[in-house]
C-alpha cells in the first residue's frame, strides 16, 4: 500500500514539473507567427505598402547615391525621362487617321529605328488598307504612351533581367474564322420530276445513282389524256387538209363562185388552222414536242404512225411491243445530274402533283453556316471558304448569301457558301468544320506574341533605339503603338506601327511593361 502511494505521489510531482514547459511548447509557433505578421505590418507601414522599384528588379547601378534616379533606375545625370536634353527627341507627327497609330512609320519612315531610311512599298500600304477595312480593336488616339522612353543603365543591366530582342519579320498570313456547317443540295440545280399527266407507270428506265442529262427519259407512262391530245391533233390536221383543198378548188373557179362562198372557204381554213395550233399547244403542254414540220408532206397513215410514239426516243420505241398504245408519254429529266431518289414502281398509278424522281447536279453543293454576331459583321459576299466534312476531304467555295436577320432561337446569322464538288464525293446532310478566309496575305509584317502588350486602351511594343549598341549611346527602348491582326502560331501580324528589321523586346518585355505602367500611374 505504501508503494502505491509513493508511485502516485511521484507521477503527480512529474506532471506538475512538466506543465509549464508543455504549455510554452504548444504556444511558441503561434507566438512566432504573430510576431512575423507584426513585423510585416511594421515594414509595410514604414514603406507605404509600395512594390519594389524598377531598380530593385534590375539591380541598382554602381553610380554614387547622389547620382541615381530612383524613379527610372538609371544614373540621374543620364536619365532621358528626367533630363530631356540628355537625348535628342524625335519630331512628333501625332495621330495617323489612315493607320490608327501615333508616329506612323508608313507615313513617316524616319521614325523607324533602322540604320537607314526604309522604303515603304505599295504592297505594304495596300495590305494595311485591306486589314484595316475589317473591325479591329482600336487604339485610343488620346493616349500618350508613345512619348515614353524605357531606359537601362547599361547593356549588362538589360541582360540581368533576361531581356532579349528580335527583329520584326515577315511571313505569309491567313486571317480566318473557324466555322461549323452542314452540306445540302444546290436547290437551284435540283429537279423534282413529276409527270405532266396522270396515268399508269409502264416502265422505269433509269434508277437511283444513274447519271442523266437534260431531256433523257426516266420512265414511260400510259396516260389516256395523251392519246386524246394526239387524236385531236390528227383530226385538226385532217380538217385543215380538207379545208385547204376546198379553198384551192374555190380559187380555181373564182369567176363563177360567189364572193360569199369564197369568203366561207377562207374562214374554214382559218378555223382549221387555229384548231391545229390549239391541238399542237395541248401536246406541248403535256411535255411532248411539236410534230416535225418535215412530216407535213407525209400521207395520213404514215403521219399517224409518226405520232404514235411522239416524244419517245427511237432506241426506246424500238423496244416497245408492236401493239403498244399511243397513250405513252416519256418522263424526262429537266437538268443534268444524278438521280438521288426514285419513288417510281412499274404498274403503279402516278399523279401530276407527286414527284417520281429527284435529280440533282452534284458538281456544286451548298454549305450552310451559323455565325455568331461578332463574326458575321466581318463576313461579306465572296469570302473564300475551306470545308472539311467529318468523313474526310477538303472542299473550297465562296460565300454567296448572308442572312439579313438573326435567328430568334440561336441568335446567330446564317450564311451559305457554294462548294465545288467536281468528283461528286461530297454528300448532302454532311457535318464538318472549316474556316472562312478573311484575308490571305503574302509576306505580311509579324512579331512574336511575347512582344505585344495591351495597356488598357492601346497595343504597344518596345522598339530598341537604333544607336543602342553604340558605346556612348543611351540604352533606350521606344514605346510604339501598333495595330495587331491575325495570330499565326507563336507570331502575331502587325498591320501598322512597326517596320521589318526594327529590333523589339521579346523575352522579358513584361518588365518594360511594368515600368511603363508604373510611370503612367505614378512612381512607386
Q: What is the CATH number of domain 81-176+440-521?
A: 2.40.420.20
| Alpha carbons within 13 A on the beta-carbon side of 137 | 15
pLDDT the model gives residue 32:
63
Nearest one of 151, 11, 143 to 79, comparing CA atoms: 151
209 and 322 Cβ atoms separated by less than 8 Å: no
Predicted confidence band of residue 344 (pLDDT cuts 50, 70, 90)? confident
Range scoring the smallest mean pLDDT among 73-77, 126-130, 441-445, 473-477: 73-77
Average pLDDT score over the chain: 86
Per-residue pLDDT of 224-244, as tens digits, reads 999 999 999 999 999 999 999
- CA–CA separation, 13 and 30 (whole Å): 28
Percentage of the chain exceeding pLDDT 70: 86
Q: Where are the domains of the chain?
A: 1-49, 81-176+440-521, 178-188+361-437, 191-217+330-357, 224-326
3 state DSSP class of 207: coil
If one compares 260 and 9, the residue with the highest pLDDT of the two is 260
Per-residue pLDDT of 141-191, as tens digits, reads 999 999 999 999 888 888 888 899 999 999 999 999 999 999 999 999 999
Sign of CA dihedral 35, 37, 38, 40: positive
Q: Which three cell numbers stand for residue 468?
A: 543602342
pLDDT the model gives residue 71:
75
Q: In the predicted model, is pLDDT for residue 2 greater than 50? A: no
Give the architecture (CATH level 2) of 178-188+361-437.
Beta Barrel (2.40)
Sign of CA dihedral 444, 445, 446, 452: negative
- CA–CA separation, 160 and 158 (whole Å): 5
Range scoring the smallest mean pLDDT among 81-90, 98-107, 278-287, 300-309: 81-90
To the nearest 10°, report the CA torsion of 303, 308, 311, 312.
-130
- CA–CA separation, 311 and 331 (whole Å): 10
Sign of CA dihedral 66, 46, 523, 53: positive
pTM of the predicted structure, to 2 decimals: 0.65
Q: Which three cell numbers stand for residue 418?
A: 457554294
Residue keyed to cell 472562312: 436
CATH class of the domain defined by 191-217+330-357: mainly beta
Q: In the predicted model, is pLDDT for residue 313 greater than 60? A: yes
Q: Which three cell numbers stand for residue 150?
A: 524605357
Question: C-alpha distances in angstroms, 291 versus 4, 152, 302?
Answer: 139, 97, 13
Q: How many CB atoms within 10 Å of residue 364? A: 17
Predicted confidence band of residue 26 (pLDDT cuts 50, 70, 90)? low
Predicted confidence band of residue 76 (pLDDT cuts 50, 70, 90)? confident
Nearest one of 388, 364, 287 to 330, comparing CA atoms: 287
Per-residue pLDDT of 373-390, as tens digits, reads 989 988 999 999 999 999
* Helix or strand holding residue 122 (H, E): helix 122-132
Amino acid at each position: 500500500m505504501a508503494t502505491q502511494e509513493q508511485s502516485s505521489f511521484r507521477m503527480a510531482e512529474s506532471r506538475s514539473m512538466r506543465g509549464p514547459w508543455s504549455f510554452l511548447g504548444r504556444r511558441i509557433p503561434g507566438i512566432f507567427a504573430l510576431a512575423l505578421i507584426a513585423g510585416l505590418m511594421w515594414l509595410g507601414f514604414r514603406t507605404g505598402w509600395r512594390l519594389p522599384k524598377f531598380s530593385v528588379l534590375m539591380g541598382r547601378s554602381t553610380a554614387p547615391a547622389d547620382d541615381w534616379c530612383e524613379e527610372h533606375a538609371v544614373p540621374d545625370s543620364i536619365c532621358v525621362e528626367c533630363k530631356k536634353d540628355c537625348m535628342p527627341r524625335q519630331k512628333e507627327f501625332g495621330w495617323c487617321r489612315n493607320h490608327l497609330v501615333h508616329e506612323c512609320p508608313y507615313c513617316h519612315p524616319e521614325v523607324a529605328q533602322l540604320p537607314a531610311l526604309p522604303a515603304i512599298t505599295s504592297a505594304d500600304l495596300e495590305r494595311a488598307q485591306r486589314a484595316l477595312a475589317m473591325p479591329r480593336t482600336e487604339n485610343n488616339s488620346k493616349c500618350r504612351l508613345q512619348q515614353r522612353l524605357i531606359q537601362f543603365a547599361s547593356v549588362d543591366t538589360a541582360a540581368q533581367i533576361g531581356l532579349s530582342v528580335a527583329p520584326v519579320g515577315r511571313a505569309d498570313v491567313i486571317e480566318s474564322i473557324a466555322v461549323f456547317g452542314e452540306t445540302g443540295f444546290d436547290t437551284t440545280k435540283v429537279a423534282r420530276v413529276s409527270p405532266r399527266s396522270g396515268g399508269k407507270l409502264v416502265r422505269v428506265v433509269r434508277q437511283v445513282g444513274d447519271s442523266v442529262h437534260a431531256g433523257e427519259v426516266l420512265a414511260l407512262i400510259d396516260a389516256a389524256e395523251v392519246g386524246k391530245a394526239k387524236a385531236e391533233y390528227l383530226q385538226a390536221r385532217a380538217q385543215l387538209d380538207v379545208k385547204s383543198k376546198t379553198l384551192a378548188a374555190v380559187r380555181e373557179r373564182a369567176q363563177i363562185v360567189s364572193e360569199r362562198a369564197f369568203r366561207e372557204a377562207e374562214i374554214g381554213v382559218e378555223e382549221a388552222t387555229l384548231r391545229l395550233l390549239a391541238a399542237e399547244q395541248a401536246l406541248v403542254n403535256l411535255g411532248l414536242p411539236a410534230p416535225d414540220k418535215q412530216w407535213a408532206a407525209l400521207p395520213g397513215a404514215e403521219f399517224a404512225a409518226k405520232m404514235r410514239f411522239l416524244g419517245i426516243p427511237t432506241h426506246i420505241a424500238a423496244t416497245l411491243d408492236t401493239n403498244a398504245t399511243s397513250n405513252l408519254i416519256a418522263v424526262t429529266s429537266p437538268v443534268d445530274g444524278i438521280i438521288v431518289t426514285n419513288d417510281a414502281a412499274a404498274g403503279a398509278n402516278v399523279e401530276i402533283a407527286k414527284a417520281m424522281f429527284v435529280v440533282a447536279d452534284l458538281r456544286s453543293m451548298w454549305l450552310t453556316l451559323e455565325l455568331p454576331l461578332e463574326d458575321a459583321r466581318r463576313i461579306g459576299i465572296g469570302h473564300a471558304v475551306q470545308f472539311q466534312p467529318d468523313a474526310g476531304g477538303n472542299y473550297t467555295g465562296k460565300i454567296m448569301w448572308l442572312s439579313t436577320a438573326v435567328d430568334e432561337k440561336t441568335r446567330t446569322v446564317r450564311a451559305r457558301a457554294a462548294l465545288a464538288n467536281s468528283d461528286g464525293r461530297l454528300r448532302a446532310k454532311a457535318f464538318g468544320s472549316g474556316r472562312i478566309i478573311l484575308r490571305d496575305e503574302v509576306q505580311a509584317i509579324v512579331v512574336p506574341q511575347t512582344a505585344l502588350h495591351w495597356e488598357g486602351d492601346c497595343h504597344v511594343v518596345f522598339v530598341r533605339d537604333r544607336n543602342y549598341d553604340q558605346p556612348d549611346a543611351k540604352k533606350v527602348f521606344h514605346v510604339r503603338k501598333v495595330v495587331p491582326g491575325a495570330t499565326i502560331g507563336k507570331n502575331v501580324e502587325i498591320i501598322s506601327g512597326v517596320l521589318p528589321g526594327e529590333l523589339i523586346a521579346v523575352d522579358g518585355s513584361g518588365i518594360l511593361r511594368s515600368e511603363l505602367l508604373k510611370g503612367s500611374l505614378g512612381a512607386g
